């Protein structure tokens, strides 16, 4: 029922958005005498604000600029190298001829970023990708919006997520470094543990976990407490809804992205209200640069995807309520996960000092679980003065975290290779 209301509301707003767009364009016409008055700019700003707050934000494009390497501009092309109904594996291919011209003559390290499947699209990691493009072959998981997956393509749960990660690592080969950003921490660690136990030659050289809920009993945050305070049945009864037409995933049971987004916004409501007040003021003043920065952020932040019912509910139960990975009881399709099997894959954990999603210690728990991994292959990093988003994006990520990660991959990757 809620999904139908959401779709009807979107349709009902369509003519009003058209009126708002027409009003804004009319006020901004060069020949309009009202256009450059305070009243005219205010009307145009109000119309712009209405349209931006009632629009449905679509999946953003990557739009990666050519990367600069040794003073040369190297074009980047987005290519799908592995595909399943619920995920595409993207490779950001740097032009080979431009690489040669930039003096890059040998293969550079491969890094797979496992993007979170928690509401936002993989493009949220655009800055993360850009930081690694100059000196890495970069791959990323591009998870599919559940409302676009036909019901005939079957179910997708946390076990399937883990299986997908292993399949992608197998596709890339054993000289890969894998980075799990936030939510994928537990399934990525599970996939690697299974590969390690099997002595799979495709197991990665290193694994990095960034702000991940490996053990949410440690320094619990507001989302962690909510997941534990409410019974499993509450999530199933109140947060799962049926996708309606005209979506291609009609009749599929999902946790809607618009509900996840509501939760995100309510956590920092005052900050978002202030941001839109400032946006309105900048439009009235004609401060286009600041208004463009606002739009760039919210075009990404407000674009959300649905999660399949089974994936969302299993994550709530296994990760946030029963802590299965931390307690040694997690199974993947009936097989027990044993992180202690990992003995020759370097481990890096990264946390933000002010993270209000994954508290301090939750990611570090991976070190305890990988009990038989030598200390020489382990590192931990707590970044001062950043929250959850700052762990994988922003100035401190570019200037401090990314260089540390690259150094770790080179040094510890060589040690892990020697262990084999």
| Residue 87 Cα distances to 50, 152, 210, 318, angstroms | 34, 16, 21, 22
State the average pLDDT over residues 261-272. 86
Q: Which structure tokens are listed for 395?
A: 């100035």
Same domain, 219 and 349: yes
250 domain-assigned = no
Find the domain containing 120 and state its range: 67-232+307-419
What is the number of alpha carbons within 13 Å of residue 235 lying toward its C-beta?
23
State the average pLDDT over residues 126-130. 96
Same domain, 106 and 203: yes
Domain end: 273, 301, 329, which one?
A: 301
Domain end: 301, 330, 355, which one?
A: 301
CATH classification at residue 164: 3.40.50.1820
Confidence category of residue 10, pLDDT binned at 50, 70, 90: confident
Contact 125, 96 (CB under 8 A): no
102 domain-assigned = yes
Number of domains in the chain: 2
Contact 92, 64 (CB under 8 A): yes
Same domain, 37 and 184: no
Q: Which structure tokens are listed for 275?
A: 């941001």
> What pLDDT does residue 376 have?
96
State the average pLDDT over residues 209-227. 94
Task: Write out pLDDT tens, residues 185-208.
Answer: 999 999 999 999 999 999 999 999
Is pLDDT above 90 for 267?
no
Same domain, 96 and 121: yes
Same domain, 119 and 197: yes
> What pLDDT does residue 17 have?
87
Same domain, 330 and 187: yes
Residue 48: which of 352, 378, 349, 284 has the closest Cα?
284
Q: Strand 253-255 relative to strand 307-308: parallel, antiparallel, unpaired?
A: antiparallel
Place of tokens 């199974």: 331
Is pLDDT above 90 for 384?
yes
62 domain-assigned = no
DSSP secondary structure of 114-173: E---SSB-GGGGHHHHHHHTTTSEEEEEEEPPGGGS-GGG----HHHHHHHHHHHHHHH-
State the average pLDDT over residues 63-70. 95
> What pLDDT does residue 331 have?
98
Return the higher-pLDDT residue of 344 and 42: 344
Is pLDDT above 80 for 412?
yes
Same domain, 106 and 163: yes
State the average pLDDT over residues 319-338. 97
Same domain, 224 and 168: yes
247 domain-assigned = no
Domain end: 268, 301, 334, which one?
A: 301
Same domain, 292 and 348: no
Contact 276, 284 (CB under 8 A): no
Q: How far apart are the first and last CA of the chain?
A: 55
241 domain-assigned = no
> What pLDDT does residue 212 have?
98
3-state secondary structure (DSSP) of residue 176: strand
State the average pLDDT over residues 364-369. 98
118 domain-assigned = yes
178 domain-assigned = yes
Return the higher-pLDDT residue of 317 and 223: 317
Contact 35, 28 (CB under 8 A): yes
Same domain, 262 and 401: no
Same domain, 181 and 133: yes
150 domain-assigned = yes
Same domain, 194 and 341: yes
């Amino acid at each position: 029922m809620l999904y139908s209301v959401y779709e009807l509301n979107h349709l009902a707003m369509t003519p009003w958005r058209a009126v708002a767009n027409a009003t804004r364009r009319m006020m901004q016409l060069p020949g309009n005498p009202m256009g450059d008055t305070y009243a005219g700019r205010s009307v145009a700003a109000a119309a712009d604000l209405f349209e931006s707050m009632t629009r449905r934000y679509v999946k953003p494009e990557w739009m990666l600029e050519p990367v600069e390497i040794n003073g040369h501009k190297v074009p980047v092309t987005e290519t799908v190298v592995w595909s399943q109904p619920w995920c595409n594996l993207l490779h950001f291919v740097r032009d080979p001829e431009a690489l040669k011209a930039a003096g890059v003559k040998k293969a550079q390290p491969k890094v797979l970023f496992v993007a979170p499947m928690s509401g936002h699209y993989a493009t949220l990691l655009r800055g993360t990708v850009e930081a690694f493009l100059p000196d890495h072959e970069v791959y990323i998981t591009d998870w599919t919006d559940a409302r676009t997956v036909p019901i005939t393509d079957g179910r997708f749960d946390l076990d399937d997520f883990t299986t997908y990660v292993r399949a992608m690592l197998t596709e890339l080969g054993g000289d890969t470094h894998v980075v799990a950003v936030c939510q994928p921490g537990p399934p990525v660690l599970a996939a690697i543990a299974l590969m390690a136990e099997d002595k799979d030659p495709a197991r990665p050289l290193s694994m990095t976990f960034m702000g991940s809920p490996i053990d949410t009993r440690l320094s619990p945050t507001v989302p962690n407490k909510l997941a534990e305070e409410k019974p499993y049945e509450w999530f199933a009864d109140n947060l799962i809804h049926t996708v309606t037409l005209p979506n291609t995933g009609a009749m599929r049971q999902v946790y809607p992205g618009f509900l996840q987004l509501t939760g995100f916004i309510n956590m920092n409501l005052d900050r978002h209200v202030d941001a839109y007040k400032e946006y309105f003021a900048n439009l009235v003043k004609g401060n286009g640069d600041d208004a463009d920065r606002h739009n760039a952020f919210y075009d990404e932040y407000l674009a959300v995807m649905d999660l399949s019912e089974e994936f969302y509910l299993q994550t709530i139960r296994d990760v946030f309520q029963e802590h299965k990975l931390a307690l040694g009881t997690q199974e993947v399709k009936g097989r027990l996960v044993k992180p202690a099997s990992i003995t020759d894959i370097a481990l890096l954990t990264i946390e933000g000092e002010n993270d209000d999603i994954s508290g301090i210690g939750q990611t570090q728990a991976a070190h305890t679980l990988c009990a038989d991994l030598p200390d020489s292959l382990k590192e931990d990093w707590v970044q001062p003065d950043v929250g959850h988003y700052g762990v994988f994006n922003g100035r401190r990520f570019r200037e401090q975290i990314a260089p540390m990660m690259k150094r770790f991959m080179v040094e510890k990757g060589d040690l892990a290779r020697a262990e084999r």
